Structure 1
């Protein structure tokens, strides 16, 4: 049985007990998790879906980790789960899953799954039902995603470290955004900084250049930067999968008055929004501070995107680049709680700002600390 290089056995035991409490409340005998974020949070290890894999967590028995034989060794190094049934790459994993459940007396169990899991296709769920005709498969929703909303002290410390990397990587990436340079230079510097400062060797995040403002999630280009360009930098460093984020715009040359004004308005509105992020605050009311303020200012005629989303653990081979388990939007009735961490972001009028924010018992705490303004390379 392996050990995680950062989280303790006690940390995982506490997580599992929280999951089991939810399973008991849902009336299921076991849960099957096959999204990489859920697997990693519960077990300490997750792998790509090149071949299907899952963690099976019974309420009253020991769990097992079903995985392709090729990855069993690295799984053993990271997970606290001792039982790891395997299959060869060309074999169907469902019969192995069925045999493992029968061996544990769970062939007639009620098994909970997240029916919106990107790991469970319609065909795979049907194959499970055929292989285990006496079992009952029910939807328990995104149980782990919900539990992950409230971060442990150890998770918060990783997010603090990731935020420090985001700050420094943004400084360095912005510094190479000069006439004759390229967006790729900024990406190279950012990713190098991630690794140098102890982060995961992962993609840097969106880095795009343009002249207007509607290019925030554009494509990394190879054209040489010229005076007057604006480079949007949104960095997403990770440590053990835990990501903090920051967003700034770099102006090459003297910034236009309208862009400076837009930045000042966004900063003031976002500062007010962040100040309101206290335990008990209703998300739609916090969202409205920025959303309605931007529209009233005339910077945008409509605000069609969210203004914040959940931060935390991201799988290195998952399809989601952001976690929308909780988001700020006009109909968000959920309530902020201490221990939540959110990426708040705003863009309008040729400017963009974002921060990573921890909700504490006494109010919001910025994890990122870069000056909240345009970055200007004259």
Structure 2
């Protein structure tokens, strides 16, 4: 069976070692991970199977993690992970959407690892760790101590290796191709859904050198009155002769996602819209130039706020967030944000989507930049010009 691994075994081993080190620091014996992005990061696992309960178990007394999932997804675990077959454990169909709990199966594995009375870390804030999951585990392991280890792995993921950055460069090229396709498609009379269809085609076909994959969320086509709504859906209405469009698109390569947003004016831009775009780009560029290892997220956000303030403009939302491995429903790593008060120190290898979107009472504009922190400053991961496009 051909393995579909995108990193050397040594890189996976270093990731597991870093996680175990943090577990030891917190006094955690066994870590139960529910987030698909963390499964992928530690084992390589990649399949659209996270709608049923699945776990990756990291135990201090075991060399490799253990993948736990539905019986029919065992083959994907064999194909996409480096794990020994004994560390791929699958529960039977009788646990699927029935009165039985798959977490009883997980609990038996914990006992097998000697964890009946262990200190167990779980992802209390994870998208895929339900109240029922926690209740079932507590019931099945009454002598264990459960502690919140939410984002433990996420904070380790925040610094990317050179191999990860290389994949994210490819994701950025896919995002650029998607944006070009969207802008080329936009014309008066073209249906919004046909723009979305063109974007989806490019998302999957990628570039001539490499293909893309499904992303963490649908692309956002915020058109006309919906341009002031950051996450609006498209319709089947044709574009009028004059309107504004905010696009947020995502390139995904081997589950690593890079975000890209641009604003497009169809016809003559509304009064002041061109000027607002120039203010946003000025603030965006100033913030990017301020990025350096050793500075904090709050330092970078302050440059943006100060630049806007000189023009009498204010932004309430955060300026950006860390990105990397992405599975639905979101690519954000739930760690560092470019915002006032976030004292996370920037380090080479961190990757952010700088999102200086402005959604005001009657106008919205989104011109963004995903970038990697480097030893000397930053590296843009997309090359689409930072400007307001006109059609």
Q: Same fold (TM over 0.5)?
A: yes
Counterpart in 2 of 1:18? Answer: 18
CA distance in 1, matches of 2:81, 2:344: 33
- 1:9-88 pair list within 5 angstroms: 9-46=9-46, 47-62=48-63, 63-82=65-84, 83-88=87-92
Query: Residue 85 of structure 1: SS of its match in structure 2?
Result: strand
The equivalences for 1:233-248 within 5 A come to: 233-248=247-262
Q: Does 1:271 align with 2:291?
A: no
Q: Note if contact 1:3-1:9 (Cα within 8 Å) is conserved in structure 2.
A: no
Q: Distance in 1 between matches of 2:189 and 2:129?
A: 47
1:295, distance to aligned residue in structure 2 (A): 4.0
For structure 1, the 5+ residue unaligned runs are none
Please state whether the residue corresponding to 2:334 is helix, strand or coil. Answer: strand
Q: Distance in 2 between matches of 1:137 and 1:256?
A: 56
Instruction: Provide the C-alpha distance between the structure 2 equivalents of 1:229 and 1:70, rounded to a whole number of angstroms.
Output: 48
Query: Considering only aligned residues, what root-mean-square deviation do their CA atoms show, in Å?
Result: 1.9
> How far off its partner does 1:115 sit?
2.1
Q: Is the 8 A contact 1:187 1:204 kept in 2?
A: no
Residue 121 of structure 1, CA deviation: 2.4
Q: Whole-Å Cα distance in 2 between the matches of residues 28 and 14 of structure 1?
A: 19
Aligned partner of 1:306 in structure 2 is: 318
Question: How far is the alpha carbon of 1:250 from its aligned partner?
Answer: 1.2
Contact 2:322 2:333 in 1 (8 A): yes
**Matching residue of 2:98:** none
**How far apart in 2 are the matches of 1:157 and 1:143?**
24
Counterpart contact for 1:29–1:111, Cα < 8 Å: yes
Contact kept in structure 1, 2:173 and 2:382, CA below 8 Å:
yes
Structure 2 stretches lacking a partner, 5+ long: 96-100
Q: Is the 8 A contact 1:346 1:354 kept in 2?
A: yes
- Aligned to 2:94, what secondary structure does the other structure show? coil
Count, aligned residues: 373
Q: Residue 350 of structure 1: CA displacement?
A: 4.2
- What CA deviation, in whole Å up to 9, does each residue of 1:1-25 have, x standing for no partner? 9733312212211111111111111
- Whether the aligned pair in 2 keeps the contact of 1:306 and 1:327 (CA below 8 Å) is yes
Show the 5 A alignment for 1:243-258.
Answer: 243-258=257-272
CA contact (8 A) 1:250 1:375 kept: yes
Q: Which residue of 1 aligns with 2:235?
A: 221
Q: What is the CA-CA distance between 1:263 and the residue it aligns to?
A: 1.1
Alignment of 1:1-378 (within 5 A): 3-46=3-46, 47-62=48-63, 63-82=65-84, 83-91=87-95, 92-197=101-206, 198-202=211-215, 205-211=219-225, 213-299=227-313, 302-315=314-327, 318-348=328-358, 350-377=364-391
Deviations 1:162-197 (CA, angstroms, capped at 9, x unpaired): 111111211111111101102222221122112222
- Do the aligned partners of residues 195 and 333 (structure 1) sit closer, same or farther apart at CA in structure 2, a change above 3 Å counting? same
> CA separation in 2, counterparts of 1:369 and 1:42?
30
Looking at structure 1, the residues matched to 253 and 157 of structure 2 have their Cα atoms a distance apart, in angstroms, of 16
Any idea what SS the aligned residue of 1:236 has?
Answer: strand
Distance 1:32 1:163 in 2: 32
Q: Distance in 2 between matches of 1:211 and 1:132?
A: 53
Q: CA deviation at 1:321?
A: 4.7
The CA deviation string for residues 227-282 of structure 1, in whole angstroms up to 9 with x for no partner, is 21111111111011111111111111222451111111111111000001110112
TM value normalised by structure 1: 0.93
Deviation at 1:354, TM superposition (A): 0.2
* Higher mean displacement: 338-347 or 61-70: 61-70
Instruction: Report the Cα distance in structure 1 between the residues aligned to 2:195 and 2:333, rounded to whole angstroms.
Output: 25
> Does the 8 Å contact 2:280/2:308 carry over to 1?
yes
- Contact 1:183/1:231 (<8 A) preserved: no
TM-score, length basis structure 2: 0.90
Task: Classify the secondary structure of the residue corresponding to 1:108.
Answer: coil
Query: Partners of 1:200 and 1:356 in 2: how far apart?
Result: 18
What is the distance in 1 between the residues matched to 2:118 and 2:364?
Answer: 56
Structure-2 change in CA distance of 1:167 and 1:16 (3 Å): same
The one-character-per-residue Cα deviations of 1:287-338 (angstroms, maximum 9, x if unpaired) are 1222343244134xx42211111110111xx333533321112221221111
